[in-house]
Amino acid sequence: MALEPQAQAVLAALAGMPPLDFAQLSAPAYRAMLAAGGGFAPGDPVASEEDLMIPTASGPIGARLYRPVIEGDDGLLPLTVFFHGGGFVSCGLDTHANLCRCLAQRARTVVLSVDYRLAPEARFPAAALDACDAVRWAASNSADLRVRPGALAVAGDSAGGNLAAVAAQQLRHSHVNIAHQLLFYPVVDCATEYPSYESMGDGYLLTADMMRWFKDQYFAAGADRADPLASPLAATDLTGVASATIISAEYDPLRDEAEHYAARLAQAGVLTTHLRWPGHMHGFASFLGALDAADHALTMAAQRLRDALHVQNT
């Protein structure tokens, strides 16, 4: 279908921004440009937000815990560990607070948003290792977090979807029992460019050139971009991975790899739901208040998450 009118309006509003020179662009300059941009609707009200630190093998990293408003006493709630997008280079707890609030409130889950290390200051596999360490820590500290033991999911958007998928793969044979992985338009193959890089790679917010720049920031020269720690789609065996909900966007250079990953998971016997959002571009779920589709997608994703975590504990 054609680009949805609200999405067209968002892209038109951004069209006046000067083009990025990726040959000269630095990560600090890119982060400063994002920080100067406008924000979106703050998301659903929640009961509380608490900043904390997570110990990892490389040192402590920040995190934020969101507790939903729940009427009555339902006992301990499940936990979802969330990883923000931003190309492994940018964004953080504040930029994705609206997504976390909506998922917490609508899925009836506590959400732990993880402030993993960013590139190029911390290159691959730093973010992937932080993600796995954070999920292990969360699984081992349910009492301190006041969440239901054994009721754990992972979630993320874009680069954060990559980290959620990596954690789901890497921890599947460990003591950590992940009930579900919720992936919004994830980066799942850092070594291959699929046809949507060409067909949707320019003019729809995220561009193919931007993705190439992100990868060049994340990977040192000579790094194996097909390592499953970087490219979950490159894993030869996907059996036993947590059930998945994967949301792709029609006008997104990452569309094809996300959809291929959904197909690979299903072929491996993993219960997988794939939803392609027509008429929208990469990152649309963050545009609360500007895109009706953001609200709809978060409601649907939260229901999938809630259902999976409920089944895990019945």
What residues act catalytically?
158
Beta carbons within 8 Å of 121's beta carbon, 6+ residues apart: 27
- Do residues 282 and 254 touch, judged by C-beta distance below 8 A? yes
- Amino acid 201 reads G
Q: CA 244, CA 262: separation in Å to the nearest integer?
A: 8
Query: What number of CA atoms fall less than 13 Å from residue 291's CA on the CB side?
Result: 25
Beta carbons within 8 Å of 125's beta carbon, 6+ residues apart: 227, 229, 230
Beta carbons within 8 Å of 50's beta carbon, 6+ residues apart: 64, 65, 67
Take residue 213 and report the two structure tokens written for it.
């720049």
Q: Is 208 exposed, middle or buried (0-12, 13-18, 19+ CB in 10 A)?
A: middle
DSSP states of 50-106: EEEEE--TT--EEEEEEE---SS---SPPEEEEE--STTTS--TTTTHHHHHHHHHH
Beta carbons within 8 Å of 232's beta carbon, 6+ residues apart: 162, 165, 166, 169, 186, 188, 189, 261
Q: CA 64, CA 131: separation in Å to the nearest integer?
A: 14
Give the C-alpha distances (Å, rounded to integers) separating 283 from 31, 36, 69, 127.
Answer: 16, 18, 26, 20
- State the Rg of the chain over Cα: 18
Q: Which residues pair with 178 in a beta bridge?
A: 152
